[in-house]
Chain A
Amino acid sequence: MTQLPHSTARKLGLVIDLDTCVGCHACVISCKGWNTENYGAPLSDTDAYGANPSGTFLNRVHSYEVQPENGAAQLVHFPKSCLHCDNAPCVTVCPTGASYKRAEDGIVLVNESDCIGCGLCAWACPYGAREMDAVEKVMKKCTLCVDRIYNENLPEEDREPACVRTCPAGARHFGDLGDPDSDVSQLVAERGGIDLMPEQGTAPVNKYLPPRPRDRLDEVDVLAPYLDPVATEPQGFLGWLDRALDALPGGKG
C-alpha cells in the first residue's frame, strides 16, 4: 500500500462557488479537451456516435433539486472532480504506488506506467472522482492541470487549471489553500466555504462555497414605503405631477 506525505509544502486546490455555478458544463469540456491532449493517456469515448456513448471525464457537473419547507424549489449545480484530499484513501489503497500525493503541492496523481487498472482507488474514493479509461485501462483523475500550472510554455496568466481559465461565470478559483492569506483562503473564510462530506475524514483540499439564501423578496415588508401612492384621489396624480415637475431642476419650486 502507498504512503501519503506527512504534510505538503502547499495545498493547491479549487474553490467552487455553488452560488454562481450555472451548470453550463464549460469546465467539463475544457477539462476533457486539455487532458485528452496532455497528461497521460487520452480520455477516450466508447460508442461515441452509438446507443451508449460513454467517455472518460475528470470533472462532471451534477444537478440537485432542493425543496425547502416553505417556498419554491431550488436547483443547485454541483461540479465535482478530485478534491486532492490530505488523507486521500485512494492513495493509501493503491497496491502499486501508482496513486500518490505530491509532497510539494499536495496534488494527487496517478503514475500511469505503474497503474495496473485494478480499480481499488476508485472504490476507495468516497466522492466517485476517479474514472477508469475504457480503452487504455488505466485510472484517470483530475491532475489539477499539473502540466499547466507550472508550464513555462504558457503565459503566466494561463498557468491555472483549464476548468478555472474557461469558467464563464467565474465560479471556479485556484490557489494555495494551505496559505491562510491566499485569495482562495480569504474567499473561503469570507463566504463560509465547506468541506464535502467531512465525516469521511478525507480532509479534502478543495472547498465549496454554499449558495446564498434564495427568495428573500418574500421577506421584504420593510420596503413597503417605497410603494406608497403619491395620491389617493383619482385626479390627485396630476396634482402630484405638477408639483413634482416644479420641484425639478429649473422648475418653479
Chain B
Amino acid sequence: MTQPRIDTSPKVSDEVRRTTCYMCACRCGINVHMKAGRVAYIEGNRDHPINKGVLCAKGSAGIMQVNAPSRLRAPLKRVGPRGSGEFREISWDEALDLAVSWLKPIRDTAPEKLAFFTGRDQSQSFTGWWAQQFGTPNFAAHGGFCSVNMAAAGIYTMGGAFWEFGQPDWDHTKLFVLFGVAEDHDSNPIKMGIGKIKARGARVVGVNPIRTGYNAVADDWLGITPGTDGLLILSLVHLLLKAGKVDLDYLARFTNAPVLVNGDPKSPEYGLFLRDEAGKELVMDRATGKLAPFDRPGVRPDLAARHRRAGITHRTVFQHMAERYLDDRYAPEAVADKTGIAPQKIRALAAEIARVAFDEAITLEREWTDFRGETHKTMTGRPVSFHAMRGISAHSNGFQTARALHVLQILIGSVETPGGFRFKPPYPKPATAHPRPHCGATPGAPLDGPHLGYVQGPDDLCLKADGSPARIDKAFTWDNPMSAHGLMHMVISNAHAGDPYRIDTLFMYMANMSWNSSMNTGGVMEMLTDTDENGDYVIPRIIYSDAYSSEMVAYADLVLPDTTYLERHDCISLLDRPICEADAAADAIRWPVVQPDRDVRGFQSVLLDLGARLGLPGMVNEDGGATYADYADYIVNHERKPGIGPLAGWRKGGDGRGGPNPDQLDRYIGNGGFWVGHIPGDAAYYKPWNMAYQDWAVGLGLCDSPQPYLFQLYVEPLRRFQLAAEGHGPVQPPDHLRERIKATLDPLPVWYAPFEDGHADPVGYPIHALTQRPMAMYHSWGTQNAWLRQLHGVNPMYLPTKLWERHGFQDGDWAQVSSVHGTITVPVAHMAALNENTIWTWNAIGKRKGTWAVSEDAPEARKGFLLNHLIHELLPARGDGLRWSNSDPVTGQAAWFDLRVKIEKVPAPEQAQPAYPPVASPVGRGPKDLAWKVGE
C-alpha cells in the first residue's frame, strides 16, 4: 500500500516577533509568527515568566482581533445626536485641536472640571501622572468596579493581595482553597498552578456558588450562598482557634497579634495601639516581662499579655481575636443556614486545613535572618494556600470578607512561608509605604500629589474645607474612606446629578460605560444623553478613546481611535500592575510587530501629544517643544525619580536603578519582550521580615530603605474612622453615616449581610443572581472575534434544579427576571452544579445592535443580555433625601454580586428585553465568510 508523501517540515514563518498579549489582563508573553509582514500565528513564549509557553483561547485568537472588522479607522467627530453613532471622520490635527480647545480653558480655570477615567488601562502609572500634571483630582482606573476590596484588604492587612501582588507557592502547596474567582483573572497562571497541584496529587477545594471552570476540577466543592463567604471563613477561624490550630510562634514574631490595645472606652485612643515615643507599637516581652517596641532585637512578644498604664488596661490583639471568634455565633451550626454549607462540611474543611498546615508542614534547608537580627537555620512552611478574586470582593461586605481570608491564612502561618501564599515584587509593601491620596487642585498647575493612595485615618480624606467631597466620584470620603482605586462606577451618575459638583469634560479610555461596564446601563445611557433647560447636554463634553467600535463610542463627542495591541508600544511596569513572580521581579513591553493600516494612534502617544499642546509640566521643554516624541520615547527616557523609570531592565548602569538607556527597547525586544531579575534563595520567603529580601528590594529600587513591618490582623486605620464616628477627633463624619461606620469599619474582620438584603425584601426577591466571565472571553471584546464568538455566542440564564423544577421550565423557555430596580426577559437553561438559590449568566455576551461590526441579527444582539440592567449604582431611596451608593462602605467597591431577584416563566419574546434601538456603525459590518492563509 502506498501512502501520500507529505511535507512534514514546512516553513513555519518568516520571522517570530516576541511581545506581550493584551487579549485580557494576564499579560502573557507571545511569539507572533510573521509571514510576508503580516501576523500568521500566535503562540505562547516558553521563556516568559507568566505563561511559560502556554496560551489561552483568547491569546491564540489574537490574530482575529488584529484583523477584526470592528477596529476604528480614524478620529471621529459626532455629527448626530449623542448615542446615535453618527460621526464624521476627521484628521488627527483637527481632533487634537478640538480636544485642546476644550481642555485648555478647563486647566486654566478649574482643572477639576475634567474627569479622566481610564477603564481597563494597563498604563495607570502614566495616565495617572498625566492627570496629575493636568491638575485634576478626578482620575482613576477601573479598580473601583472590579476588585478594590481584594487589593485594599490585602494591602491594609499584609502589604499585598492576590494576583499581581502574590501567588500560591504552586511548587510546594498541598492544599489549595480557591474562593470566588472570575475565570479570566490571572487565568493562565491559575490553570498552570492547578495543573501542577493535580499532577502531584495534591488537593484543590473550590468555594463558589457555581461549579464551572476551576471549580469543576476542584476535588471538593462548597457551593456557597453569595455574600456569605466571610461568615464561612470566620467559622473556619472559630474552629481553628478553638482547637489551637494556629501558628503562635509566627503570630508572635511577624504579626500585630501581640501588640497592646487601649481598652478604655472613655479614652480618645480607645482601641488604638500602645506606642512608644517614637510611635512604634509596643508589645510585652515574655522574656523580661517588660514593654518593648515590636522590633527590638531579642524581644519575645507575648500574645497573652495584659498591661495597665495610667489606669487603662491594654490587652493584646490576639486576646481581642480570641474573644470575638471563639464565640459560638461563628460555630458551624450557627452559620450553616446562611452560608448554605452543612456544618459537617465546614468542620471537614477546617480539619483538613489543620491537618495539612500542621501535620504536613514542610521545611526548606535555607538559612535566613529576620529584621530583629535573629538568624533561622531553616524555613518552615504550612502548605495550605488560598486564592480569591471578585467573587468575594464584589459585595458590600467584600472588604471585610477579603480581610477575613487574609487573617485566616495568617493565623495558620502560611503567608510568605513555603507552600503558602507568596508575594511578588514590588510587594510586600505595607499600606504605610504607599502614598496617601491627593486632591489639591490649583488652576494652571499640577495636582499636589498622586491621586490614589492608602489613608491612615480621617485626616487623609479628600474633603473640601466645607466637608464636601473633593472628587467627582466621592472617593476618600466618609461614604467610603478607603477607596484606594476610586469609584469609576459613580462618575457618570455623580456628574449627571451635579453631586458633588458639575464637570465640563468627561474623558475616558477603554471603558464601555454605556454597556457592560456600568450598573444601570439604561440609566447611564439616559444620563449621557440628558439635556438641561437650554437643550445642552448635562455632561457637556465627552472624549473617548477605544480601538474598537464598542457601545461607548456612540456616546462620545470626539473619538480618539487607539491601535490594537500588536501595533503599539506599551510597558508593563513595576510602577504599575507588574507581572512579577514570587521568585523574580519582571517587567515587559509591547512593541509594534505590525504597523496600523488605519489612521489610528496609540492612546498613550496621543496623551503625550495632548500634554505637549496643553503645555503640561514634564511634557513640554523650555523651548515649547514636546519632551517626548511618543510613548516609546517616554518609556525609555521618563524618570519618576532619579534612576527609576517605567522599565527596570537594562538601565544605564544596571537593572533597577540607573539612567535612561537609548538601547533599552532593543534589549527588551532581543530578550523576548521582557526582563526578569531573580530573587536570591535566602530572600525568597518571609519577605516582609527577611533582611536579605529587604536589601535586594532596596538595591533594585523598589524602595529606598528596608521597611520590615508586622502583618495587621487588627487594622488601626479602620479603628480611627470608628473613633471619629464615636465622636472623637476634629474631622467628623456626617451623622447619618456614624452608625454604619461603627458597624462596618471594624478593625477586626466582621461579617454583615450584603446591603441589598436590607433594601430588597429577601422574601420577595429570594434568589441571588451573578455573572461570571468565561475563560475564553474578556469583557465585551470577545464577540468581535470570529473564533471566540463561536465558543460563547449566547448566554442563557442558568437555573439550579430546584428553581427549574419549581417553575416548570423546559429547554427553550424564557424567564422574566426582576430586581427592585429593573426587569429583564431572557432565555434560560438548567444547571445542576449550582447553589440552589443562585442563578447566573456569562458576562458581557449581549451586545447593542450596530456595535462591534457584528450584524444586528447576531445572537449576541438578539438573545444575548446583560444582568447590568438589574443592578443600580445607587441603593433604593430610603426617603432620607440621600443617595446611597451600591458599594462597599469601606472601599466603595461596586457591589455587583449583592443582587437579589425573583423569576417568573414568560412566553418567549421576539428578543431579549430590554432591547435598545441600533446605533449607526462607524465601521460597517464584518465580511460574510472567512477562509484565508496569510502569505498566500
A34 touches B41 (CB 8 A): yes
A73 touches B9 (CB 8 A): no
B9 touches A152 (CB 8 A): yes
- Does B913 belong to the interface (CB within 8 Å)? no
Q: Which residue of B6, B61, B192, B834 is within 8 Å of A29 (Cβ)?
A: B61
B195 touches A168 (CB 8 A): yes
A46 touches B929 (CB 8 A): yes
Q: Which residue of B198, B344, B789 is within 8 Å of A218 (Cβ)?
A: B344
Q: Which of B52-60, B456-464, B729-737, B866-874 contacts A (4 or more CB under 8 A)?
A: B52-60
A230 touches B248 (CB 8 A): no
Q: Which residue of B61, B248, B857, B931 is within 8 Å of A44 (Cβ)?
A: B931
A50 touches B857 (CB 8 A): yes
B243 touches A226 (CB 8 A): yes
- Does A127 belong to the interface (CB within 8 Å)? no
Query: Please, how many angstroms separate the alpha-carbon atoms of A128 and B195 in the complex?
Result: 28
Chain B residues in 8 Å Cβ range of A75: 211-212, 216, 833
Chain B residues in 8 Å Cβ range of A166: 43-44, 53-56, 60
Q: Which residue of A26, A63, A151, A216 is within 8 Å of B10 (Cβ)?
A: A151
- Does B226 belong to the interface (CB within 8 Å)? no
B60 touches A216 (CB 8 A): no
Query: Please, how many angstroms separate the alpha-carbon atoms of A29 and B44 in the complex?
Result: 13
CB contacts between A and B, total, < 8 Å: 303
- Does B182 belong to the interface (CB within 8 Å)? no
A170 touches B220 (CB 8 A): no
- Does B855 belong to the interface (CB within 8 Å)? yes
Q: Which residue of A17, A73, A230 is within 8 Å of B832 (Cβ)?
A: A73
B239 touches A42 (CB 8 A): no
Q: Which residue of A17, A100, A249 is within 8 Å of B4 (Cβ)?
A: A100
Minimum CB distance partner of B12 in chain A: A153
Q: Which of B346-354, B490-498, B624-632, B710-718 contacts A (4 or more CB under 8 A)?
A: B346-354
B934 touches A37 (CB 8 A): yes
B46 touches A157 (CB 8 A): yes
Query: Please, how many angstroms separate the alpha-carbon atoms of A150 and B8 in the complex?
Result: 6
Minimum CB distance partner of A135 in chain B: B931
Minimum CB distance partner of B245 in chain A: A226
A38 touches B928 (CB 8 A): no
Q: Which of A132-165 contact B (CB under 8 A)?
A: 133-136, 146-147, 149-154, 157, 162, 165
Given A22-B217, A23-B775, A44-B929: A153 touches B54 (CB 8 Å cut-off): no
Among A30, A55, A135, A153, the most chain B Cβ lie within 10 Å of the Cβ of A30
Query: Please, how many angstroms separate the alpha-carbon atoms of A157 and B31 in the complex?
Result: 15
Minimum CB distance partner of B205 in chain A: A217
Q: Which of B888-936 contact A (CB under 8 A)?
A: 925-934
- Does A118 belong to the interface (CB within 8 Å)? no
Chain B residues in 8 Å Cβ range of A69: none
Q: Which residue of B199, B345, B931 is within 8 Å of A170 (Cβ)?
A: B199
Q: Which of A82-90, A197-205, A236-244 contacts B (4 or more CB under 8 A)?
A: A236-244
Given A19-B217, A170-B192, A220-B348: A147 touches B10 (CB 8 Å cut-off): yes
Among B1, B211, B793, the most chain A Cβ lie within 10 Å of the Cβ of B1
B191 touches A24 (CB 8 A): yes
A53 touches B786 (CB 8 A): yes
- Does A103 belong to the interface (CB within 8 Å)? yes
Q: Which of A167-218 contact B (CB under 8 A)?
A: 167-171, 211-212, 214-218
- Does A11 belong to the interface (CB within 8 Å)? no
Given A54-B790, A72-B833, A168-B192: A224 touches B347 (CB 8 Å cut-off): yes
Chain B residues in 8 Å Cβ range of A74: 211, 216, 221, 833
Query: Please, how many angstroms separate the alpha-carbon atoms of A30 and B333 in the complex?
Result: 48
B323 to chain A, nearest CB (A): 9
Minimum CB distance partner of A134 in chain B: B929
Q: How large is the interface on A (under 10, 10 to 19, 20 to 34, 35 or more residues)?
A: 35 or more
Q: Which of B306-363 contact A (CB under 8 A)?
A: 318-319, 322, 326, 344-345, 347-352, 354-355
- Does A36 belong to the interface (CB within 8 Å)? yes
Query: Please, how many angstroms separate the alpha-carbon atoms of A227 and B355 in the complex?
Result: 9
Given A23-B212, A72-B211, A224-B351: A49 touches B855 (CB 8 Å cut-off): yes
Chain B residues in 8 Å Cβ range of A50: 854-855, 857-858, 926, 928
- Does B196 belong to the interface (CB within 8 Å)? yes
A95 to chain B, nearest CB (A): 16
What 0/1 readout, one digit per residue, does chain B (841-855) give for beta carbons within 8 Å of chain A? 000000000000111
Q: Which of B812-865 contact A (CB under 8 A)?
A: 831-834, 853-855, 857-859, 862
Query: Please, how many angstroms separate the alpha-carbon atoms of A240 and B304 in the complex?
Result: 10
B1 touches A3 (CB 8 A): yes
B855 touches A51 (CB 8 A): yes
What 0/1 readout, one digit per residue, does chain A (42-63) give for beta carbons within 8 Å of chain B? 1011111111011101000001
B319 to chain A, nearest CB (A): 7
Given A72-B223, A166-B54: A48 touches B929 (CB 8 Å cut-off): yes
B775 to chain A, nearest CB (A): 4
Chain B residues in 8 Å Cβ range of A25: 56-57, 775-776, 791
A162 touches B1 (CB 8 A): no
A245 touches B793 (CB 8 A): no
- Does A20 belong to the interface (CB within 8 Å)? yes
Chain B residues in 8 Å Cβ range of A136: 931
- Does B388 belong to the interface (CB within 8 Å)? no
B928 touches A65 (CB 8 A): no
Q: Which of A1-47 contact B (CB under 8 A)?
A: 3, 5, 17, 19-26, 28-30, 32-34, 36-39, 41-42, 44-47
A200 to chain B, nearest CB (A): 24
A30 touches B55 (CB 8 A): yes
Minimum CB distance partner of A47 in chain B: B928
B211 to chain A, nearest CB (A): 5
Given A22-B217, A166-B43, A226-B351: A65 touches B831 (CB 8 Å cut-off): yes
A168 touches B8 (CB 8 A): no
What 0/1 readout, one digit per residue, does chain B (58-73) give for beta carbons within 8 Å of chain A? 1111010000010000
Given A29-B776, A72-B223, A147-B7: A244 touches B248 (CB 8 Å cut-off): yes
Query: Please, how many angstroms separate the alpha-carbon atoms of A151 and B8 in the complex?
Result: 6
- Does A67 belong to the interface (CB within 8 Å)? yes
Q: Which residue of A102, A151, A224 is within 8 Å of B12 (Cβ)?
A: A151
A217 touches B9 (CB 8 A): no
Chain A residues in 8 Å Cβ range of B858: 49-51
Q: Which residue of B252, B352, B927 is within 8 Å of A48 (Cβ)?
A: B927
A67 touches B60 (CB 8 A): no
B252 touches A19 (CB 8 A): no
A227 touches B351 (CB 8 A): yes
Q: Which residue of B352, B775, B786, B933 is within 8 Å of A49 (Cβ)?
A: B786
22 A-B contacts, Cβ less than 8 Å apart?
A23-B212, A24-B183, A32-B60, A33-B60, A38-B10, A45-B929, A49-B69, A49-B925, A53-B790, A57-B790, A73-B832, A73-B834, A102-B3, A114-B4, A168-B54, A171-B195, A226-B245, A226-B355, A227-B350, A227-B354, A230-B243, A244-B248
Interface residues of A (CB under 8 A from B): 3, 5, 17, 19-26, 28-30, 32-34, 36-39, 41-42, 44-51, 53-55, 57, 63, 65, 67, 72-77, 100, 102-103, 109, 111, 114, 133-136, 146-147, 149-154, 157, 162, 165-171, 211-212, 214-218, 220, 223-224, 226-230, 237-238, 240-242, 244-245, 248-251
Instruction: List 14 additional contacts besides A42-B931, A48-B927, A228-B243; criterion CB under 8 Å.
Output: A19-B198, A20-B198, A22-B214, A29-B60, A49-B925, A50-B926, A73-B211, A75-B216, A154-B12, A168-B192, A170-B199, A218-B345, A223-B351, A237-B242
Name the 5 nearest CB pairs between A and B, nearest first: A49-B926, A73-B832, A44-B931, A223-B351, A168-B191
